Amino acid sequence: MLDFPRWRVWMLNTLIILGVLCAIPSVLPTHIRAQLAQFVPTPTINLGLDLAGGSHILLEADTSQLAETRLEALEDSVRTAMRRADPRIAISDVSRANGQLSFTVDSPTQVDAAREVLLPLTSNATGSRDWNIGVNDGNRMILTPAGTGDETALDQAMDTAKDVIDRRINALGTLEPTIIRQGDNRIVVQVPGLDDPEALKALIGKTAKLEFKLVDEQADPDQTAQGKARVGSQVLPYPDNPSGLPYIAVRRLGGISGDKLVKADPTFDSQTNEPAVTIQFDSEGGQKFARMTQQNVNKLFAIVLDGQVISAPQIREPIFGGVSQISGSFTTESANALSISLRSGALPVDLKIVEERSVGPDLGADSIRRGILAAVIGTTAILVLMFLVYGRFGMYANVALLINVAMILGVMAFANATLTLPGIAGFVLTIGAAVDANVLINERIREELKRGRRVVQAIEFGYKEASRAIFDANSTNVIAAVLLFIFGSGPIRGFAVVLMIGIVTSVFTAVTITRMWVSRWVKRTRPHDLTI
């Protein structure tokens, strides 16, 4: 048992050195680390926001709204396809309810033709069905969502949303955000060092879906005030309406969407000198915009942002070239935020903030400073005690403990893990386990010596007998850590990760490494008696 072949000694030493090397960058001051990074990789532990200060925002997608959007898109494509079918298929009574789209094919003889038209619309690129087609009463067709259509759509929407948020935050400049998807419909945004997230929230909370719609100038103001619109129109909120009525009726069709922009910049209105936003469409969007303005000169068109009208100017002349200006009651900041949002594209789904945390940098720094102080004092106390109680073997345990700390940090840095407050709890537990392993071994050696065994034999027995308890104790901790990782939420997972890493390194340093040193000492000195 005390035999250590040369290759094992080499392997163990290499592991120690690697672990410690990985830990070094994390404990260096930032400017030295930056210099070092030019020559060698410098894996570093991230500090959680609870320690480093910063903002954490959890966004959740409105999934019902996403299903509604899909249904709307389906309705659009169905109407177009039926109109373009040859011969044209007349449909009526189109309704969207309970997540289904249903309509009546006017002539029952065309039902089969209609089904043919629907087939390509209702299946996706991989050939599986997104929508099931059913027929009721001979000519009433019903499309219901099938299989994983909604989930796939959500998945894609969330991926896009993540990219959009990334672009928007990057537009703010020097922040280093972490943006990750969580679960099916959530996105976590963490920005270290930002303790006032107002600007950030204004930026990522907005969907920024821009639309241009024609105002329904025939609408009866009384009806509009009650939220009622004529067929083909809809009523939208318009808080800044000069007429005083906070609503306006717009035509459903004939508008264009503003998602095809190549540019959006804050500017000032040349006449009123108020903040505004200029946008430039891509060529396709520009052509559509030109056509729309050409056909509707002297009419009013509404600029709709996220379902709310921000202004409704008159089209004085056709606008060619695809450049337009949006004015409304902007401030310089809100004009800037809107241009960033428009540039980075609209969010494919509405996101709302369900959790928000911010920690000021002073508090975080204070936590770290006092945390480190406490850790240093506490660890020193352990080291002194271990040395006083176990002498030489206590020294071995102490060096192993220090290597253990370095290795936990090293593995965490290598895995790019984040150290949080609960993570520190996990740290304390693993340090405890490491100390305990050495205490168990040394106490057992003492016991075996007292029973009259010779030194070498007592050491062998000590390691062997203590290993069983160490194995069981650490196995239970591994089980607990794995379960915590599976069932726990964010902070608890932070605890579990440190615990898992720490258990492996603790057993490695406290059992394997100390045994290597002890065996070398035994071989070299052939001790006849041992003070422990």
Q: Residue 468 or 523: which CB sits closer to another protein?
A: 468
Residue 222 Cβ vs another protein, minimum distance, rounded to whole Å: 28
C-alpha 28: how far from its chain's center?
A: 29
Angle at 83 between CA 78 and CA 87, to 5 degrees: 120
Between CA 113 and CA 107 the distance in angstroms is 11
Q: Residue 223 or 379: which CB sits closer to another protein?
A: 379
Q: Residue 330 or 463: which CB sits closer to another protein?
A: 463
Q: Residue 238 or 427: which CB sits closer to another protein?
A: 427
For residue 267, give every residue at least 6 positions away whose Cβ sits within 8 Å of its Cβ, in sequence order, or none: 275, 276, 277, 278, 325, 335
Q: Residue 113 or 480: which CB sits closer to another protein?
A: 480
Chain position carrying tokens 């072949």: 5
Q: Residue 10 or 320: which CB sits closer to another protein?
A: 10
Q: Are 412 and 427 in contact (CB under 8 A)?
A: no
Residue 491 Cβ vs another protein, minimum distance, rounded to whole Å: 5
Q: Residue 90 or 504: which CB sits closer to another protein?
A: 504
Between CA 503 and CA 509 the distance in angstroms is 10
Residue 401 Cβ vs another protein, minimum distance, rounded to whole Å: 10
Between CA 170 and CA 363 the distance in angstroms is 26
Residue 47 Cβ vs another protein, minimum distance, rounded to whole Å: 13
Task: Annotate 66-89 with b (16+ C-beta within 10 A) or e (fewer).
Answer: bbebbbeebbeebeeebeeeeeeb
Residue 437 Cβ vs another protein, minimum distance, rounded to whole Å: 9
For residue 68 the two structure tokens come to 């509604």
DSSP state for residue 247 in the 8-state scheme:
E
Residue 187 Cβ vs another protein, minimum distance, rounded to whole Å: 13
Helix (H, G, I), strand (E, B) or coil at 208: coil
Residue 376 Cβ vs another protein, minimum distance, rounded to whole Å: 9
Chain position carrying tokens 């935020």: 337
Residue 266 Cβ vs another protein, minimum distance, rounded to whole Å: 22
The CA distances from residue 482 to 382, 399, 409, 477, 497, in Å, are 28, 29, 20, 9, 9
Residue 224 Cβ vs another protein, minimum distance, rounded to whole Å: 24
Between CA 481 and CA 473 the distance in angstroms is 12
Q: Residue 99 or 361: which CB sits closer to another protein?
A: 361
Strand 100-105 to 140-145 pairing: antiparallel
What is the enclosing helix (H) or strand (E) of 355?
strand 351-359
Q: Residue 58 or 326: which CB sits closer to another protein?
A: 58
DSSP state for residue 299 in the 8-state scheme:
S
